[in-house]
Chain A
Amino acid sequence: GQQLNQSPQSMFIQEGEDVSMNCTSSSIFNTWLWYKQDPGEGPVLLIALYKAGELTSNGRLTAQFGITRKDSFLNISASIPSDVGIYFCAGRLGIFGNEKLTFGTGTRLTIIP
């Protein structure tokens, strides 16, 4: 099945730094979602995007729906220790009655002391 290309695969940053990650697809999506997963837990929805070009914020997190509909970006400003985890993007194909998502393989964020 199709997977989204998510980059980088891992990031090592210092507390207080800004973070940028992206997700690209060969297919157009109508919805982009960003999730965060902590060890031993299920993914938690962070931000949902519904329109090409849309920019949406959730606290220190900002995500954008790419204008081509084939990519999306997530930025985290002024990182803190609780930002550590794996971030997943997901795209919804948007076929009528089809609610299935396609997921990226994740970006693992680590904060260096």
Chain B
Amino acid sequence: DAGITQSPRHKVTETGTPVTLRCHQTENHRYMYWYRQDPGHGLRLIHYSYGVKDTDKGEVSDGYSVSRSKTEDFLLTLESATSSQTSVYFCAITGKSSYEQYFGPGTRLTVT
């Protein structure tokens, strides 16, 4: 158990509304990641963080922003949700070995 929680676990929202997903870790890991998982595409990196206030884009970052004001929390924001952002979102952290990633339980987001 890597001590990762995500909230909410499920959310339904309307197109055009802002949405924020939260990832919380309890073990002071430096690296945190946001992925989305879609059929046929596998896991794709949205954004990642390598420290407080240090973030960078992944391969599918358009339409998403992130913030990390504390080591334990990494927030993913959809400024104006679209139907193409309906997906399952996973947060991950890099473990002590720095080579292994551990995933949270996921957030299922539906944009209607």
B22 within 8 A of A: no
- Nearest-neighbor residue (CB-CB) of A30 within chain B: B99
With beta carbons under 8 angstroms apart, the residue of A31, A33, A50, A106 that contacts B42 is: A106
Q: How many A-B residue pairs have CB under 8 A?
A: 56
In the complex, per-residue mask of A12-30: 1 if CB is within 8 Å of any chain B CB, else 0: 0000000000000000000
Residues of B near A61 (CB, < 8 A) are: none
The interface stretch among A52-60, A63-71, A77-85, A96-104 is A96-104
Residues of B near A104 (CB, < 8 A) are: 42
CA distance A41 to B48 in the complex (A): 21
Q: Which of B41, B43, B94 has the most CB of A within 10 A?
A: B43
Q: A48-B100, A88-B42 are in contact. List 8 more A-B contacts (CB 8 A).
A: A1-B44, A1-B60, A42-B106, A43-B90, A45-B100, A50-B99, A100-B45, A104-B42
With beta carbons under 8 angstroms apart, the residue of A40, A42, A48 that contacts B97 is: A48
In the complex, per-residue mask of B38-51: 1 if CB is within 8 Å of any chain A CB, else 0: 00111111001010
- The minimal Cβ–Cβ distance linking A68 to chain B, given in whole angstroms, is 19
- The minimal Cβ–Cβ distance linking A52 to chain B, given in whole angstroms, is 15
Residues of B near A88 (CB, < 8 A) are: 42-43
Task: Return the 4 tightest CB-CB contacts between A and B, nearest first.
Answer: A42-B103, A1-B59, A103-B43, A105-B42
- The minimal Cβ–Cβ distance linking B62 to chain A, given in whole angstroms, is 13
What band does the interface of chain B fall in when counting residues whose beta carbon is under 8 Å from A?
20 to 34
Residues of B within 8 A of A (CB): 31, 33, 40-45, 48, 50, 58-60, 90, 94, 97-106
- The minimal Cβ–Cβ distance linking A14 to chain B, given in whole angstroms, is 26
Q: Is the CB of B90 within 8 A of A42?
A: yes
With beta carbons under 8 angstroms apart, the residue of A41, A50, A90, A106 that contacts B105 is: A41
Residues of A near B90 (CB, < 8 A) are: 42-43
Pairs across A and B, CB under 8 Å, 8 listed: A1-B44, A42-B105, A50-B99, A97-B50, A99-B94, A99-B101, A101-B45, A101-B101
A10 within 8 A of B: no
With beta carbons under 8 angstroms apart, the residue of A33, A40, A97 that contacts B101 is: A33
Q: With contacts A43-B90, A44-B103 known, is A99 near B98, CB below 8 A? A: yes
